[in-house]
């Protein structure tokens, strides 16, 4: 039997990109999905397009307001069992520190960091009670290597890896698996949706992401790592895949590279 067969999987960011591709592959693998993002209509279209739509449910939440999101999730899900939480929703950034409002840093932290913490804290007590569960967060190579124009995104994605490391240490004795996924450049809407200095969306693609691997390939490699209960995996190709390795063993080279890019 495959790892996902019959599992109840709560997947955020399911309306687009990596999350949408994961939803399709998880449904094919026999998972029962709770599909989350802000856009209820889009999520409903996604649900209807999946194998066995009757097995899946839509839960629209805005993770930029984590407390409200959890209150809503609590009233919709109640005591429903969650076997696997995949914190995939996220927003990137394209703006220099000097040009970026503090409110944009807060928004990035709410979605990319506090959203993860809030949903994890929501599912964790039941998982510990059942001595069974798996929590996954899609961080980024940007959670290991800081680059220009992404200072807030880097901060949130670095932070969330630390949170996941701590979660892994605290839950090992309870039989909970904890996985961090670190994608490199993936061809999705992430650049288009990324925040600029005043909080508005960039609204155009970025050649780095457009030149990356497909969302389907990223989802396939991520789900393989999740099924193997890996602690941390880098998913991508080329320089973005190599960057965390270089950062660890040749940090000076990485510092020079990112200052020039």
Ligand X SMILES: NC(=O)c1ccc[n+]([C@@H]2O[C@H](COP(=O)([O-])OP(=O)(O)OC[C@H]3O[C@@H](n4cnc5c(N)ncnc54)[C@H](OP(=O)(O)O)[C@@H]3O)[C@@H](O)[C@H]2O)c1
CA dist., res. 38 & res. 13, Å (int): 8
Of 123, 177, 186, 254, the residue at the interface with ligand X (CB under 6 A) is 186
Cβ–Cβ contacts within 10 Å for residue 136, how many?
A: 24
- Site for ligand X contains 8 (CB under 6 A): no
Q: Which is nearer to ligand X, 1 or 94 (CB)?
A: 94
- Site for ligand X contains 89 (CB under 6 A): yes
- Site for ligand X contains 63 (CB under 6 A): yes
- DSSP for 219-255 reads HHHHHHHHHTT-SEEEE--HHHHHHHHHHHH-HHHHH
- Site for ligand X contains 17 (CB under 6 A): yes
Judged by DSSP in three states, 211 sits in: coil
Instruction: Identify which range of 50-58, 72-80, 87-95, 250-258 contacts ligand X by CB under 6 A.
Output: 87-95
- Site for ligand X contains 120 (CB under 6 A): no
Catalytic residue numbers?
A: 153
CB of 129 to ligand X, least distance (A): 27
CB of 53 to ligand X, least distance (A): 18
Q: Which is nearer to ligand X, 128 or 258 (CB)?
A: 258
Q: Which is nearer to ligand X, 21 or 176 (CB)?
A: 21
Q: Is 181 exposed, middle or buried (0-12, 13-18, 19+ CB in 10 A)?
A: buried
Q: Is 246 exposed, middle or buried (0-12, 13-18, 19+ CB in 10 A)?
A: middle
Q: What are phi and psi of 141, to 5 degrees?
A: -60, -25
Of 4, 9, 13, 93, the residue at the interface with ligand X (CB under 6 A) is 13
Site string for ligand X, 200-239 (x = CB under 6 A): ---------x--x---------------------------
CB of 51 to ligand X, least distance (A): 19
Q: Which is nearer to ligand X, 79 or 155 (CB)?
A: 155
Whether the CB-CB separation of 159 and 113 falls below 8 Å is answered with yes
- Site for ligand X contains 185 (CB under 6 A): yes
Query: Alpha helix (H) ranges present in 29-101?
Result: 40-49, 66-77
Q: Which is nearer to ligand X, 90 or 152 (CB)?
A: 90
Q: Which helix (H) or strand (E) segment is 117 a member of?
A: helix 115-130
Q: Which is nearer to ligand X, 210 or 253 (CB)?
A: 210
Give the CA distances from residue 233 to residues 4, 15, 138, 164, 181, in Å, rounded to whole numbers and listed in that order. 18, 23, 10, 13, 5
CA dist., res. 115 & res. 191, Å (int): 20
**Which residues contact ligand X (rule: CB under 6 A)?**
12-13, 15-19, 37-39, 42, 61-64, 88-92, 111, 138, 140, 183, 185-186, 188-190, 193, 209, 212
């Amino acid at each position: 039997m495959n790892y996902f067969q019959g599992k109840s999987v709560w997947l955020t960011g399911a309306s687009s990109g990596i999350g949408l591709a994961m939803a399709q592959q998880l449904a094919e693998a026999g998972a029962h999905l709770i599909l989350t993002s802000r856009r209820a209509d889009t999520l409903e279209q996604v649900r209807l397009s999946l194998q066995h739509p009757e097995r899946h449910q839509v839960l629209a939440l805005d993770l930029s307001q984590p407390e409200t999101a959890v209150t809503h999730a609590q009233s919709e899900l109640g005591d429903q069992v969650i076997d696997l939480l995949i914190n995939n929703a996220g927003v990137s950034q394209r703006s220099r520190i000097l040009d970026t409002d503090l409110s944009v840093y807060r928004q990035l932290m709410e979605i990319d960091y506090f959203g993860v913490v809030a949903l994890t804290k929501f599912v964790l007590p039941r998982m510990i009670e059942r001595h069974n569960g798996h929590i996954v967060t899609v961080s980024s190579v940007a959670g290991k290597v800081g680059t220009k124009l992404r200072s807030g995104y880097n901060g949130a994605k670095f932070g969330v890896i630390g949170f996941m490391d701590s979660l892994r240490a605290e839950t090992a004795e309870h039989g909970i698996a904890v996985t961090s996924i670190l994608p490199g450049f993936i061809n999705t809407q992430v650049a288009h949706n990324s925040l600029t200095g005043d909080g508005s969306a960039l609204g155009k693609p970025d050649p780095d992401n457009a030149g990356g691997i497909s969302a389907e390939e990223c989802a396939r490699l991520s789900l393989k790592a999740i099924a193997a209960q890996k602690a941390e995996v880098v998913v991508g190709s080329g320089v973005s895949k190599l960057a965390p390795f270089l950062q660890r063993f040749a940090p000076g080279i990485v510092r020079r590279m990112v200052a020039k890019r």
